[in-house]
């Protein structure tokens, strides 16, 4: 099923990007709309993100000395997300930046955390090398927007080779997210994984998730450490 982030929460998180630190958080499903749930604060380049089926973190739009990071999910962001999917901790992770929102989902079946770790490190090295070969993108996000848009496309293609699909939504546009096998409940506050996989609209195998009632919010988290800063 396709769900949308509530416009008010989307706007609120976009405002967080203007702060000098990163924010992280999760969403819960309410009558087909994703609403803001847990919220955490971090430093200028990292934050602990609560474990949840749909989670997010921001890339700060204010950087010391006006030297900013590029908005796309960093190599470590992508690596941490893929490991979290393999561990059954999440389905979608959105990264909010000055230019808009990037939402990641895994398009290959989970392999288990132990088997995934060497591949994760190989993926991070490959993405880092690719990004560093395009160092001029760090200086073109505002001066040369067309160049930066090309880099966004190339970055998405590179991530997809590693089984990660990244969709971009401009500022002001609420992401449309695909959740498979979701049962709605008006007072549910968390998304929990269940065993099994299913095929999504693209015919790709993805984790099957169900919505459960829960009085407690998740306390487990993963730290994102942005490697896009120069």
Give the pLDDT score at 37.
Answer: 93
In the predicted structure, residue 167 carries a pLDDT above the cut 90: yes
Give the pLDDT score at 2.
Answer: 86
pLDDT (mean) for 147-164: 89
Give the pLDDT score at 145.
Answer: 72
pLDDT (tens digit, 9 = 90+) per residue, 56-100?
999 987 765 555 557 899 999 999 998 888 888 899 999 999 889
pLDDT (mean) for 135-161: 77
pLDDT (mean) for 179-201: 40
Give the pLDDT score at 12.
Answer: 96
Greater model confidence, 91 or 217: 91
Strand pairing of 190-199 and 33-41? unpaired
Yes or no: say if 71 and 98 are a contact pair by the CB < 8 Å rule.
Answer: yes
pLDDT (mean) for 25-48: 92
Q: What percent of the chain has pLDDT over 70?
A: 67
Greater model confidence, 82 or 219: 82
- Quickly state the pLDDT bin for 225 (edges 50, 70, 90): low
Give the pLDDT score at 115.
Answer: 54
In the predicted structure, residue 208 carries a pLDDT above the cut 80: no
Yes or no: say if 29 and 182 are a contact pair by the CB < 8 Å rule.
Answer: yes
In the predicted structure, residue 168 carries a pLDDT above the cut 90: yes
- Cα(204)–Cα(225) distance, rounded to whole angstroms? 29
- Quickly state the pLDDT bin for 24 (edges 50, 70, 90): very high
| Domain residue limits, the chain | 2-225
Three-state SS at 219: coil
pLDDT (mean) for 155-159: 94
pLDDT (mean) for 187-210: 38
pLDDT (mean) for 207-219: 31
Give the pLDDT score at 133.
Answer: 84
pLDDT (tens digit, 9 = 90+) per residue, 105-137?
988 765 555 556 778 889 999 999 998 887 665
**Residue in 62, 55, 50 with CA at minimum distance from that of residue 22:** 62
Cα distances (angstroms) measured from residue 206 to each of 77, 146, 152: 19, 33, 24
């Amino acid at each position: 099923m396709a769900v949308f982030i509530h416009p008010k929460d989307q706007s609120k998180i976009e405002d967080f990007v203007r702060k000098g630190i990163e924010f992280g958080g999760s969403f819960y499903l309410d009558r087909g709309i994703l609403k803001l749930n847990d919220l955490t604060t971090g430093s200028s380049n990292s934050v602990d993100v609560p474990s949840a089926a749909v989670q997010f973190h921001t890339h700060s739009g204010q950087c010391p000395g006006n030297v900013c990071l590029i908005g796309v999910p960093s190599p470590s962001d992508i690596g941490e997300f893929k490991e979290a999917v393999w561990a059954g901790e999440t389905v979608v992770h959105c990264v909010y930046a000055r230019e808009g929102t990037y939402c990641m989902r895994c398009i290959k079946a989970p392999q288990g955390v132990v088997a995934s770790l060497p591949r994760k490190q190989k993926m991070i090295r490959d993405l880092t090398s690719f990004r560093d070969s395009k160092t001029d993108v760090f200086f073109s996000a505002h001066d040369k927007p067309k160049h930066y848009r090309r880099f966004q496309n190339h970055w998405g293609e590179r991530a997809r080779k590693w089984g990660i699909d990244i969709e971009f939504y401009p500022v002001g546009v609420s992401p449309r997210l695909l959740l498979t096998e979701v049962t709605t409940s008006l007072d549910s506050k968390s998304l929990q994984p269940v065993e099994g996989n299913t095929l999504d609209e693209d015919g790709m195998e993805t984790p099957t998730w169900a919505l459960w009632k829960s009085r407690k919010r998740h306390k487990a988290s993963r730290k994102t450490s942005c490697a896009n800063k120069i």
